[in-house]
């Protein structure tokens, strides 16, 4: 019953998120730079779970947000995420040929254009997020909401740059191909917290900030993102070994090929599963302390722990 009810809710909410994202994609302006726009949209339109904008949408509404200022931020976080996937798949990093069930951007448009399309998406994410001010512009009572937008922009930058995702990715790259078990648990946790969790913390936190939640609630969303993010990455490690390439839409055994230390190489599949389950329990316990209707989010967190794609 719960599966049916929340499964349907997930479908509806993902469709809303999808519409928002597509509304903010760059269109064809009839100019010479057609290819880069096409390459940007190719990966954005290839699908994906849309988890990050969905989490932002949930957190925004959980804390009572009612305006459209969240929408450009939802599109922006998906653009940043997609930029990271395009660059991560490049021959210089993971050298993967399949993403979201389709040939990777560099496989279709060539390496130089994929590099540029990734850069352009990262930049366009901020151009898009700034559009939130268009919803408050000229309003007499805009000051408070503008303050929230500024704080959300600051958070977006912090979580994705050298204090966030890119810090994690840089340490990951630095330690790659140094052989299994060359990284200890502390270093691996650092990489996962920064490379993956920061981009899950960001939408949960930004949703709460934009809705005008208290500082303690914003911290709570951050904490939640840390737990969900780590569980999500460890499940990714597991799926790289046990998953199905067609269902995942990306190659399996990529970690082995790149000689990466993962939770599976450190703890084995069963040990990694136990860790996902324990982090998921902690995330659910945290959500149970949050006032408001968190039933769907709790279901989603559990669903992510059992995901097969
Ligand atoms: C900027 C090059 C660069 C990298 C940043 C995020 C990241 C670091 C690299 C992307 C590849 C990767 C393994 C990231 C870890 C997080 C993760 C499992 C991403 C995949 O996210 P999903 O499963 O993808 O939500 P979809 O396609 O569903 O959106």
Nearest to 120 by CA among 128, 130, 131: 128
Q: How far apart, in whole angstroms, are the C-alpha atoms of residue 81 and residue 156?
A: 12
Question: Euclidean distance between the first and final Cα of the chain, in Å?
Answer: 22
Report for 22-26, 137-141, 254-258: range of highest mean pLDDT: 22-26
Neighbouring residues of 35: CB distance < 8 A, sequence distance ≥ 6: 109, 113
- E strand or H helix that includes residue 304: helix 295-305
Q: Is the CB of 84 under 6 A from ligand 1?
A: yes
- Which residue shows structure tokens 């989490």? 55
Taking CA 14 as the corner, what is the angle to CA 284 and CA 50, rounded to the nearest 5 degrees? Answer: 75
Distance from the alpha carbon of residue 287 to the mean position of ligand 1, in angstroms: 24
- Rounded to 5 degrees, φ, ψ at 192 are -70, -40
The DSSP output letter for 131 is G
- Rounded to 5 degrees, φ, ψ at 103 are -55, 140
Q: Is the CB of 236 under 6 A from ligand 1?
A: yes
Q: Is the CB of 87 under 6 A from ligand 1?
A: yes
224-283 tens-digit pLDDT: 999 999 999 999 999 999 999 999 999 899 888 888 899 999 999 999 999 999 999 999
pTM for this predicted structure? 0.96
Which residue's CA is the closest to the ligand 1 atom numbered 6?
84
Which residue's CA is the closest to the ligand 1 atom numbered 1?
84
Q: Is the CB of 48 under 6 A from ligand 1?
A: yes
Looking from the CA of residue 118, the nearest atom of ligand 1 is 1
Q: Is the CB of 94 under 6 A from ligand 1?
A: no
């Amino acid at each position: 019953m719960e599966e049916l009810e929340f499964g349907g809710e997930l479908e509806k909410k993902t469709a809303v998120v999808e519409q928002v994202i597509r509304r903010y994609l760059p269109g064809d302006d009839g100019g010479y730079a057609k290819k880069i726009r096409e390459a940007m949209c190719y990966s954005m339109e290839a699908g994906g779970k849309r988890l990050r904008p969905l989490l932002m949408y949930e957190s925004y509404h959980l804390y009572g947000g009612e305006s459209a200022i969240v929408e450009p931020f939802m599109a922006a976080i998906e653009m940043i995420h997609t930029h990271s996937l395009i660059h991560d798949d490049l021959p210089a990093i993971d050298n993967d040929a399949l993403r979201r069930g389709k040939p990777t951007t560099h496989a279709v448009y060539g390496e130089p254009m994929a590099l540029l399309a990734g850069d352009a998406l990262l930049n366009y994410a901020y151009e898009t997020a700034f559009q939130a001010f268009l919803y408050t512009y000229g309003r007499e009572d805009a000051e408070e909401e503008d303050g929230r937008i500024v704080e959300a922009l600051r958070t977006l930058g912090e979580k994705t740059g050298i204090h966030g995702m890119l810090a994690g990715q840089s340490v990951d790259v630095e330690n790659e191909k140094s052989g299994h078990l060359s990284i200890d648990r502390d270093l691996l946790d650092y990489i996962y917290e920064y490379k993956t969790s920061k981009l899950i913390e960001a939408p949960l936190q930004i949703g709460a900030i934009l809705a005008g939640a208290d500082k303690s609630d914003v911290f709570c969303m951050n904490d939640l993102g840390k737990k969900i993010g780590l569980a999500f990455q460890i499940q990714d490690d597991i799926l790289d070994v046990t998953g199905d390439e067609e269902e995942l839409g990306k190659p399996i055994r990529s970690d082995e090929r790149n000689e990466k230390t993962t939770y599976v190489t450190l703890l084995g599949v069963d040990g990694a599963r136990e860790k996902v389950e324990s982090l998921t329990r902690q995330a659910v316990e945290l959500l149970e302390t949050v006032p408001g209707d968190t039933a769907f989010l709790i279901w989603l967190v559990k669903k992510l722990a059992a995901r097969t794609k």
